[in-house]
Amino acid sequence: MASITLTFIDPTGKEHKVEAFPGQSVMRAAKSAMVPGIEAVCGGNCICGTCHCYIEAAGGAALPEPDDTEAAMLEATPEPRPESRLTCQIPVTENLDGMVLRVPASQH
């Protein structure tokens, strides 16, 4: 199986290359690698909005649009942008390889 690498740019600008696996969420991959700024306090249930990231480059994947719940949560984040996503709602697939995500300055 080809390995999947995601790049997170933390709030200080530092890059973190993270290995991810199909079946987990992008948030889980970030948490496993302890990427600073990804809090995910609700554990992936789409109720806290603290795993928010900006997608800088989507790799080879065309991400499905956020559903209603995620879209509503994103509006509640401090600085939502068109490229905002909750990483707990993105399942890791092989074509996410090369994805670049920027962690916002604050999740609160």
Q: Is 45 in the site for other proteins (CB under 8 A)?
A: yes
Picking from 48, 66, 53, the residue whose alpha carbon sits closest to that of residue 6 is 53
Tell me the CB-side half-sphere exposure of residue 38, using CA atoms within 13 A. Answer: 27
Among 18-26, 45-53, 54-62, 88-96, the segment contacting other proteins (CB under 8 A): 45-53
The residue within the footprint of other proteins, chosen from 15, 60, 76, 81 (CB under 8 A), is 76
User: Are the CB atoms for 22 and 29 separated by under 8 Å?
Assistant: no
Minimum CB–partner distance for residue 53 and other proteins (Å): 16
Minimum CB–partner distance for residue 80 and other proteins (Å): 10
Minimum CB–partner distance for residue 48 and other proteins (Å): 6
Q: Is 32 in the site for other proteins (CB under 8 A)?
A: no
Sign of the Cα pseudo-torsion (101, 59, 47, 36, in order):
negative
24 Cβ neighbours under 8 A, 6+ residues apart: 32, 91, 92
The residue within the footprint of other proteins, chosen from 19, 22, 69, 81 (CB under 8 A), is 69
User: Are the CB atoms for 88 and 107 separated by under 8 Å?
Assistant: no
Q: Is 41 in the site for other proteins (CB under 8 A)?
A: yes
Which residues would be at the binding site for other proteins (CB under 8 A)?
41-43, 45-48, 68-69, 72-73, 75-76, 106-108
